[in-house]
Amino acid sequence: MKSIQISTDIVPIAEFKTHASAILDNVKSNHQSIIITKNGKAAGVVISPEKFDRWVERDNFIHSLKQGLKDSESVSVNPTPS
């Protein structure tokens, strides 16, 4: 993952409102996230649709792994008597 560039990746909300179309085009083409600030504090993040899809897939995969581990731990193992 590319590191955040303060000069280009942090945008005040007023600038985002004024240049939303160009900023969104840049996010989509460069797959770089943009942090939107309001009153000098982070208020939101804009990511490309492709990056969002990858994060959702990864989150679903991790959730499935955790569920599988939980399920396997809840199965009691009864050894066959000798």
CATH of the domain at 15: 3.40.1620.10
In a domain, 1, yes or no: no
In a domain, 30, yes or no: yes
In a domain, 82, yes or no: no
> ∠12-2-10 over CA atoms, to 5°?
5
In a domain, 35, yes or no: yes
In a domain, 46, yes or no: yes
Distances (CA, A) of 12 to 6, 36, 45: 12, 6, 11
Q: What is the pLDDT of residues 4-28, one digit of tens each?
A: 776 678 999 999 999 999 999 999 9
CB atoms closer than 10 angstroms to residue 13: 13
Total structural domains within the chain: 1
In a domain, 13, yes or no: yes
In a domain, 51, yes or no: yes
In a domain, 11, yes or no: yes
- Write down the pLDDT at residue 30: 86
Long-range pairs for 18-22: beta carbons < 8 A, 24 or more residues apart: none
**26 lies in which domain range?**
6-73
To the nearest whole percent, how much of the chain has pLDDT over 70? Answer: 87
Phi and psi at 26, nearest 5°, equal -65, -40
pLDDT band at 38 (very low <50, low <70, confident <90, very high): very high
- Write down the pLDDT at residue 18: 97
- Write down the pLDDT at residue 81: 59
* DSSP letter assigned to residue 15: H
